[in-house]
């Protein structure tokens, strides 16, 4: 491995120059006028895979943007890693908040600023450069098989991804999926993420009367849907922060003692966290730490409220309707559809007959986790330790990455989230950036990953 690492070290500056070309392509999948750029980024990705020595490189059509595929499958009997990432990027508004233009990649203080630097071109390119170094230094040979699966619709909800995975199970078959599309735990603290929360999202609409009424003439005679909505929502959680929907916790996988012990060791400062968020006080389900609440416990949140008069001043309206967007973050082994059924039944029970109730199921996503002690998780941890010179922490995340569940279900494959971004990387905001030290260490870690995972076979 020394030769590989030496090669990576020697070519450090070239990698940055190449990455700049990649980042200069404004492949914004959400904006139709950027369709040619999205295509150009797909082609650029394919060329980069070819240049690294991957085989069978091609663009595979989908009803949307093409998937870029490439593989190296010349290690029969050895494990196969599937690398997943995306070449499309977020929009850039508001443009005036960027220090330098989003598609003119600029290095400042060891960080490269550009849209897509962290999310996700930089992290995709990191894995591509590891393959290149390995093949160049090991006589064109890898100790295992690898596949690259880079999509172009992640920033618009990966709308065609599930179908694609389902219809390409053979091409995508692997032993483990490696995804680098997330931040590390903190600056200087590399991490492996092995669990994500799921989601069940709803809209509640209550109607009290045919139209808005004068609150003087009618106040007191009919139920006020905004008040009823408040009553209904208030019944979703108790004072201790526990969700009151009957059966809600039935399928929650308890935190293992090993996990709790590992997370207690994490350098997490509640006071700093609270101050950064600007919250007067932290609050969550009693009996759990903040990290446990966010990573391993489900929650009920109100995402939006709208009713009646919301402008300046005082309008004495008795609203006809009231609307709430609410969602539950789910943890293994809660199922979004089952939770939706439980929620709907409880909602119907607690909503009085004085209003008409309409519940819309908006969106669902399954929670996911690879076992805390899974061998691939641990192998990735060792690779990171070699790349970063520091043992990673093992964490879960509170958010959702739906594709991970798809891989689990359709391919029956565990995923390892090996992200080298930073919490302040501004992934969907102005001044998105990637630390070039992390990028460089990530290339080395990615190369060590072959060795570590090959060693498991």
What amino acid positions are annotated as catalytic residues? 88, 154
Q: Where are the beta strands (DSSP E) in 157-197?
A: 176-179, 191-196
One-character DSSP codes across 154-176: GGGT-TTHHHHHHHTHHHH--SE
Q: What's the min distance (Å) between Cβ of 214 and its own copies?
A: 6
Q: Specify the residue, 318 or 383, whose C-beta has the smaller distance to its own copies.
A: 318
Angle CA 450–455–457, to nearest 5: 110
Q: What's the min distance (Å) between Cβ of 308 and its own copies?
A: 4
Closest CA to 124 of 18, 9, 35: 18
Looking at 1, 317, 335, 454, which residue binds its own copies (CB under 8 A)? 317
Looking at 210, 257, 271, 272, which residue binds its own copies (CB under 8 A)? 210
97 binds its own copies (CB under 8 A): no
Q: What's the min distance (Å) between Cβ of 288 and its own copies?
A: 8
**Count of Cβ atoms closer than 10 Å to residue 210 Cβ:** 7
432 and 117 in contact (C-beta within 8 Å)? yes
231 phi, psi to nearest 5 deg: -60, -45
Q: Which residue reads 């399928």 in tokens?
A: 251
Q: What's the min distance (Å) between Cβ of 338 and its own copies?
A: 19
Residues in region 26-65 near its own copies by CB under 8 A: none
Residues in region 428-457 near its own copies by CB under 8 A: none
Helix (H, G, I), strand (E, B) or coil at 128: helix
20 binds its own copies (CB under 8 A): no
Residues in region 344-363 near its own copies by CB under 8 A: 352-356, 362-363
323 binds its own copies (CB under 8 A): yes
**Count of Cβ atoms closer than 10 Å to residue 226 Cβ:** 22
287 binds its own copies (CB under 8 A): no
159 binds its own copies (CB under 8 A): no
Residues 6+ apart with CB under 8 A from 254: none
Residues in region 68-87 near its own copies by CB under 8 A: none
Q: Left if phi > 0, otherwise alpha if psi is -120 to 50, otherwise beta: which for 95?
A: alpha
263 binds its own copies (CB under 8 A): no
162 binds its own copies (CB under 8 A): no
Q: Which residue reads 């899974």 in tokens?
A: 374
Looking at 57, 133, 178, 213, which residue binds its own copies (CB under 8 A)? 213
The strand pair at 80-86 and 176-179 is best described as parallel
My answer on whether omega of the bond before 120 falls inside 30° of 0, hence cis, is yes
Looking at 16, 50, 101, 215, which residue binds its own copies (CB under 8 A)? 215
Residues in region 395-414 near its own copies by CB under 8 A: 397-400
Q: What's the min distance (Å) between Cβ of 390 and its own copies?
A: 24
Q: What's the min distance (Å) between Cβ of 352 and its own copies?
A: 7
């Amino acid at each position: 491995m020394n030769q590989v690492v030496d090669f990576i070290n020697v070519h450090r500056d070239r990698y940055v120059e190449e990455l700049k070309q990649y980042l200069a392509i404004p492949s914004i999948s959400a904006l139709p006028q950027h369709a040619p750029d999205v295509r150009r980024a797909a082609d650029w990705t394919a060329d980069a895979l070819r240049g690294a020595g991957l085989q069978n490189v091609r663009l595979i059509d989908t009803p949307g943007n093409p998937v870029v595929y490439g593989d190296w499958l010349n290690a029969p009997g050895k494990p196969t890693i599937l690398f997943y990432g995306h070449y499309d990027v977020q929009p850039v508004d508001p443009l005036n908040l960027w220090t330098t233009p989003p598609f003119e990649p600029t290095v400042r203080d060891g960080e490269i600023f550009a849209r897509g630097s962290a999310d996700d071109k930089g992290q995709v390119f990191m894995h591509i450069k590891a393959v290149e170094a390995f093949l160049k230094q090991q006589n064109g040979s890898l100790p295992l098989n690898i596949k690259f699966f880079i999509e172009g619709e992640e920033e618009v909800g990966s709308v065609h991804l599930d179908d694609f995975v389902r219809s390409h199970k053979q091409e995508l078959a692997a032993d483990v999926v490696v995804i680098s599309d997330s931040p590390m735990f903190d600056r200087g603290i590399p991490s492996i993420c092995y669990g994500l929360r799921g989601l069940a999202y709803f809209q509640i609409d209550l109607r009290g009367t045919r139209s808005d009424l004068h609150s003087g003439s009618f106040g007191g005679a009919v139920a006020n849907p905004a008040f009823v909505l408040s009553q209904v929502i208030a019944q979703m959680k108790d004072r201790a922060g526990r969700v009151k929907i009957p059966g809600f916790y039935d399928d929650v996988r308890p935190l293992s003692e090993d996990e709790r012990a590992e997370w207690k060791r994490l350098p997490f400062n509640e006071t700093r966290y609270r101050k950064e968020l600007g919250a007067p006080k932290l609050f969550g389900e009693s009996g759990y730490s903040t990290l446990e609440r966010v990573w391993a416990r489900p929650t009920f949140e109100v995402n939006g409220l709208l009713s009646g008069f919301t402008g300046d001043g005082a309008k004495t309206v008795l609203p006809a309707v009231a609307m709430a967007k609410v969602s539950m973050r789910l943890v293994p082994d809660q199922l979004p559809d089952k939770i939706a059924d439980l929620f709907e039944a409880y909602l119907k029970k607690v909503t009085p007959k004085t209003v008409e109730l309409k519940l819309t199921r908006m969106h669902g996503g399954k929670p996911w986790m690879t076992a805390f002690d899974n061998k691939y998780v641990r192998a990735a941890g060792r690779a990171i330790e070699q790349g970063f010179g520091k043992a990673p922490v093992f964490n879960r995340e509170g958010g959702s990455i739906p594709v991970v569940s798809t891989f689990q279900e359709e391919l029956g494959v565990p995923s390892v989230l090996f992200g080298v971004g930073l919490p302040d990387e501004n992934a969907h905001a102005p001044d998105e950036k990637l630390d070039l030290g992390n990028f460089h260490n990530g290339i080395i870690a990615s190369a060590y990953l072959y060795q570590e995972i090959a060693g498991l076979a």
